[in-house]
Amino acid sequence: MARALPWWFNSLLLPLANICLAFFACAMVLWLLGVDVAYATNTMLDGALGSSEGLGYTLFYTTNFIFAGLAVALAWQAGLFNIGAEGQALIGGLGITLMCIYGQSLPMVLLFPLTIVVSALFGALWALIPGWLNAYRGSHIVITTIMFNLIASSFIVYLLVGPLKAPGQMAAVSATFTESTWLPTIESIAWSLGIAIDPSPLNISFIWALMCCAAVYIYLWRSRIGFETRVVGLNARGAKFAGIARKRIVIITMLLSGALAAFIGLNEVQGSSHQLQVEFVSGYGFAGIAIALMGRNHPFGILVASLLFGVLYQGGAELAFNIDGIGNDMIILIQALVVLFCGALEWMLKPSLVNLLRLNHPLDSKGGS
Amino acid sequence: MLAPALELRNIDKAYHSVMALNGASISIAPGSIHGLIGENGAGKSSLMQVAYGLVQPDGGSIFIDGAPVELTTPLQAIERGIGMLHQQASWLEQLSVFDNIMLAEPASGFLFQNKTKALAKLESLRREYGFKFSLTTKLSELDYSQRQLVDVLRSLYRGVRVLILDEPLALLSSTQANYLNSLLVLLKMQGISVVVVSHKLAVLHQLCDVISVIRSGAVTACLDPKQVSLREFSTHMVGREIKLPHPRVEPSKTQAKTLLNILGLGVNGAKSGRKSMAHPLLTRIELSVAQGEIVACVGLPNAGQELLLDVIAGLTRFDAGTIDLLQHQIRVNSRYKIKHARRYGIAYAPSPIFNVGLVEQLSMAESVYLGYQQHGFGRWGFASMKKKHLQCLRLMKDWGIVPRLPALQSGLFSGGNQQKMVLAREMSQQPNLLLLNQPTHGVDAGAVETIYRRLFGMREHGCGILLCSTDLDEVMSLADKICVFSRGRLIETLLAKNTNREELALLIIKEAQHG
């Protein structure tokens, strides 16, 4: 008598097994390099989770990954592969910079919502052009969004060596914002509540990221427009029959996706560096693709994947700092292995695990037709 | 006695805790035509997918020529001489018949296929079995039932010994069934066994050497059509007697008020982007549907009747003429889309062959609102999942859709049950005008009876129904008025009571030949 697979198999056991395999591969590489694996693991975990400072940095990076992952996943649900999160985040950062320079007299309770709106607007408008080109002119979204990344970064470089350049500075950065526009850090909030934690750039945009996760979930699985978005992504002809205007959905989805990507700037620009820098996105937009893949395009999956990436990022930095012979390349290698085993090879272990646990459930193939 | 060409013994298979097959056994004798019938969701397709290696059974064994085998992939099944035609096959439309067949063939030499040899072999097979298409024809130029015949040719080329036909479309069309019959007899004479899965009881009764009945996942009877009457078959299948063909019900009153009035409607071929169609797709169509009237459109495939439904439903633009629906006037330049059609009270159940009425990956509960999103979500655009589930459960209960699990993906339901859900959704909107394309394809005879009863009920309430069907028995049972299409023209409008099935079939074929 056959049983269906228990629910925890696909959503807990399999990802866990994949992660273990990825870490095992990382350990092998470290071992081959002659590094003490136990010490390295300890350094990494301790660096990422062992102190309030390390945890703060981990969650700070997690915030970026959540925004990027959500941006990619939301577009993916409509069948759009938005790899332009990088550029949308840059332009969003520009919006934040303008807001922080020209709105510096506003109180934080007003400024924070306003920067959210303005950055969303900037990111959304940057994503609108590829979206419109796709909906009305049939341009391929991958090509246009990647081109828009290049345009965005050139544009920001132009602004930062020209109009927005901080006076008396050699580097291509904007002026540092006045301190009243900086997003409150979690540390300062905790301090005002009488809890002492070590300083880290973790700020209130982390809470905004968590709210975005919940909002994206409700949008996609509870709202009418989210339902229509998923139908467009699943079956374009079915969507036409259901009377759903694909063009409209593409435009709306790209706007929202661009807005989510733009929020990376909240965390990085307004929350941490307090000035616009050329390279502030530094690959988060592309990491969003891997995170969306690992998180199965689901907000809660993305939250978990972002946490994992946050740990890897912060722990990896500690590793590079503490152990000779390990540089930033190693961190990228570890990330790549995690993406490989958890994303690209996600079903690899399934048959053997099923046999191992004697769940006796043959592969569900519904006949490729 | 010879060992059976294919034998399945005590096959079990469960999907998501639902038992699709429960100890099913079937034995196919060499060189026989074996029918397989059963209600929707009884397990016919599942059993055949096990035989073709598409689905791995949870228990049971498979024998070919008496020897036990294990079929874990279709490739293994093909190598052992088992071929299958699918309900929804996939072809590469821009390639020729020959290329489509060769696509899946392994290279004979180091890298390349020996195409000259293959071409000669295929050509001789084509002649031997009398396939009407040429090997160089592009698939896009063939209709769906002919495309399935391409699959038959492919199976023959691979040296098939047991051919499984799951709901062959040619059987659906009254005009093409004859050709399929003679083809099957030819196959039988070559010692090839054929398994036909279908709901066309009458056709199977005539054609098959033996018919197996499957009920709730087990084969409950194996009968000889020569000794068992058609009536008894339906009893075996659904547990009660079904009159075949389904009896006509005349409308109790005639209503004069016109619901839909189409004048001079035309659709240009070129604009729709179909280059192979030199002539217009629809020309000067004049058609009207009154309240409480069932109008059937018949014709060969691609004669325009199905396109007409798409035009009325707002899925395809038209280039000439007018459509008046109650007080709404639809013109060439009015931006008329399917959402407007629904607002005007049109419900449309598209052909199950095209797979657009449902989105496979959505749950059944979500599918209930596909096309009717405004009802599924509250004032603020957000849904209560509970409400969706209850609504879905109600439809499932009313329409006998199994398994009764609203959270299950719609693509996991059997073809007939999916179609029932599409009909349930569209008919529960209480439309003014109901458009149906192949409404009962893949639906079992018992459920067809219920569907007809519901359609007659809707007619009594003043709903107009416009349907396309290739099944002339269906047309004769349902229609009050019949429109015959040929090459994009409406060539004849008949009253159903003044004609009969044979006359209709003759008309369709004759007009097509004259062109």
Lookup: tokens for B301: 């495939």
Lookup: tokens for B114: 């020996």
Residue A160: which residues within 8 A CB-CB, separation 6 or more?
A172, A173, A174, A276, A277, A278
Q: Which residue ranges make up each domain of chain B?
A: 6-238, 258-514
What domain count does chain A have? 1
pLDDT in tens, B390-434: 999 999 999 989 888 898 888 888 888 999 999 999 999 999 999
Q: Which amino acid is residue A242, in one-letter code? A: A
CATH code, domain carrying A323 = 1.10.3470
Q: Whole-number mean pLDDT of chain B?
A: 86
Say what the pTM is.
Answer: 0.82
Query: Which residues make beta-bridge pairs with B28?
Result: B6
Chain length of chain B: 515
Residues of B with CB below 8 A from A7's CB?
A: none
Distance of CA A152 to the CA centre of its chain: 19
Query: In chain B, what is the straight-line distance between the N-terminal and C-terminal CA atoms, in Å?
Result: 52
The dihedral region occupied by B167, where left means phi > 0, alpha psi between -120 and 50, and beta the remainder, is left
Q: Which residue numbers in chain A have pLDDT < 70?
A: 1-5, 358-369
A4 occurs within a structural domain:
no
Lookup: tokens for A125: 């408008």
A230 occurs within a structural domain:
yes
Find the residue in A nearest to B49 (Cα): A367
Euclidean distance between CA atoms A62 and A314, whole angstroms: 10
User: Where do the DSSP E strands lie in B144-278?
Assistant: 162-166, 193-197, 210-215, 218-223, 258-267
Taking alpha carbons only, the member of B453, B449, B439 closest to residue B297 is B439
Tokens 């107009």 belong to residue: B464
Q: Please answer yes or no on whether B58 and A360 come within 8 Å at the CB atom.
A: yes
Averaged pLDDT, B39-47: 86
Whether chain B has a CB inside 8 Å of the CB on A2: the answer is yes
Query: Is residue B214 a contact partner of residue B38, using CB atoms and an 8 Å limit?
Result: yes
Residues of A with CB below 8 A from B86's CB?
A: 367, 369
pLDDT in tens, B299-327: 887 788 999 999 999 999 999 999 999 88
Euclidean distance between CA atoms B131 and B129, whole angstroms: 6
Phi, psi dihedrals of residue A259, rounded to the nearest 5°: -65, -45
Find the residue in A nearest to B23 (Cα): A1
- The CATH code of the domain at B6-238 is 3.40.50.300
Of B15, B89, B361, the CB nearest to A234: B361
Whether chain B has a CB inside 8 Å of the CB on A222: the answer is yes
Find the residue in B nearest to A3 (Cα): B17
Task: Give the pairing of strands B294-299 and B481-486.
Answer: parallel
User: pLDDT at position B271, please?
Assistant: 46
pLDDT in tens, B442-496: 888 888 888 999 999 999 998 999 999 988 888 999 999 999 998 888 988 999 8
pLDDT in tens, B78-127: 989 999 987 666 778 889 999 888 887 776 666 677 788 889 999 999 99
Residue A73 C-beta-side C-alpha neighbours within 13 Å: 31
Euclidean distance between CA atoms A197 and A200, whole angstroms: 9
- Is the model's pLDDT at B273 over the cut of 60? no
SS3 B346: strand
Name the burial class of residue B117, with classes exposed (0-12), middle (13-18) and buried (19+) by CB atoms within 10 angstroms of its CB: exposed
Euclidean distance between CA atoms B252 and B67, whole angstroms: 61
Lookup: tokens for B5: 């060409």
DSSP structure class, residue B139: G
Give chain B's largest Cα–Cα span.
73
Lookup: tokens for A359: 């769940």
Lookup: tokens for A266: 């909240």
Euclidean distance between CA atoms A264 and A115, whole angstroms: 12
Angle, in degrees to the nearest 10, between helices A246-262 and A224-234: 110
Tokens 């959503």 belong to residue: A11
Tokens 């299950």 belong to residue: B408
Residues of B with CB below 8 A from A227's CB?
A: 366, 369, 373, 376-377, 383
User: pLDDT at position A359, please?
Assistant: 60
Euclidean distance between CA atoms B235 and B200, whole angstroms: 14
Burial string for B367-396 (b: 16+ CB within 10 Å, else e) reads bbbbbbbeebbeeebebeeeebbebbbebb
Phi, psi dihedrals of residue A108, rounded to the nearest 5°: -60, -40
Tokens 């969306």 belong to residue: A292
- Is the model's pLDDT at B361 over the cut of 50? yes
Q: Which of B90, B339, B342, B356 to mutate to test the interface with A (most CBs of A within 10 A)?
A: B356
Whether chain A has a CB inside 8 Å of the CB on B371: the answer is yes
Euclidean distance between CA atoms B111 and B152, whole angstroms: 26
User: pLDDT at position A361, please?
Assistant: 43
Q: Please answer yes or no on whether B370 and A231 come within 8 Å at the CB atom.
A: yes
Rg of chain B over Cα atoms, rounded to whole angstroms, equals 23
Averaged pLDDT, B329-340: 91
- Is the model's pLDDT at B188 over the cut of 50? yes
B9 pLDDT band, cuts 50/70/90, is: very high
Number of neighbouring beta carbons within 10 Å of residue B185 = 12
Q: Please answer yes or no on whether B58 and A228 come within 8 Å at the CB atom.
A: no
Give chain A's largest Cα–Cα span.
78
pLDDT in tens, B432-454: 999 999 998 888 888 888 899 99
Averaged pLDDT, B235-264: 81
A369 occurs within a structural domain:
no
- Is the model's pLDDT at B279 over the cut of 80? no
Whether chain B has a CB inside 8 Å of the CB on A364: the answer is yes
User: pLDDT at position B511, please?
Assistant: 66
Taking alpha carbons only, the member of A57, A29, A52, A53 closest to residue A41 is A29
A334 occurs within a structural domain:
yes
Lookup: tokens for A236: 């374009």
Which one is the CATH code of B258-514: 3.10.129.10, 3.90.230.10, 2.40.50.140, 3.40.50.300?
3.40.50.300
Whether chain B has a CB inside 8 Å of the CB on A237: the answer is yes
Query: Which residues make beta-bridge pairs with B299?
Result: B485
Averaged pLDDT, B370-398: 84
Find the residue in A nearest to B372 (Cα): A242
Whether chain B has a CB inside 8 Å of the CB on A162: the answer is no
Euclidean distance between CA atoms A233 and A210, whole angstroms: 25
Euclidean distance between CA atoms B422 and B425, whole angstroms: 5
Residue A171: which residues within 8 A CB-CB, separation 6 or more?
none
User: pLDDT at position A88, please?
Assistant: 96
Distance from CA of B377 to the nearest CA of A (A): 6
Euclidean distance between CA atoms B289 and B267, whole angstroms: 20
Of A237, A239, A243, the CB nearest to B337: A243
Taking alpha carbons only, the member of B325, B359, B362, B319 closest to residue B342 is B325
Whether chain A has a CB inside 8 Å of the CB on B88: the answer is yes
Euclidean distance between CA atoms A42 and B231, whole angstroms: 77
pLDDT in tens, B339-356: 999 999 999 999 887 778
State which H helix or E strand residue B328 sits in.
strand B328-330
Give, in order, the Cα–Cα distances in Å from B197 to each of A292, B74, B163, B223, B418.
Answer: 43, 18, 11, 15, 17
Residues of A with CB below 8 A from B366's CB?
A: 227
Euclidean distance between CA atoms B67 and B3, whole angstroms: 9
Taking alpha carbons only, the member of B307, B346, B309, B304 closest to residue B325 is B346
Euclidean distance between CA atoms A166 and A274, whole angstroms: 12
For residue A192, the enclosing domain spans 17-27+37-355
Q: Please answer yes or no on whether B15 and A235 come within 8 Å at the CB atom.
A: no
Q: Which amino acid is residue B87, in one-letter code? A: Q
C-alpha triplet B30, B35, B36: angle, nearest 5°:
115
pLDDT in tens, B118-165: 899 999 999 988 888 899 998 888 887 788 888 889 899 988 999 999
User: pLDDT at position B487, please?
Assistant: 85
Find the residue in A nearest to B374 (Cα): A224
Residues of A with CB below 8 A from B56's CB?
A: 362-363, 365
Chain length of chain A: 369
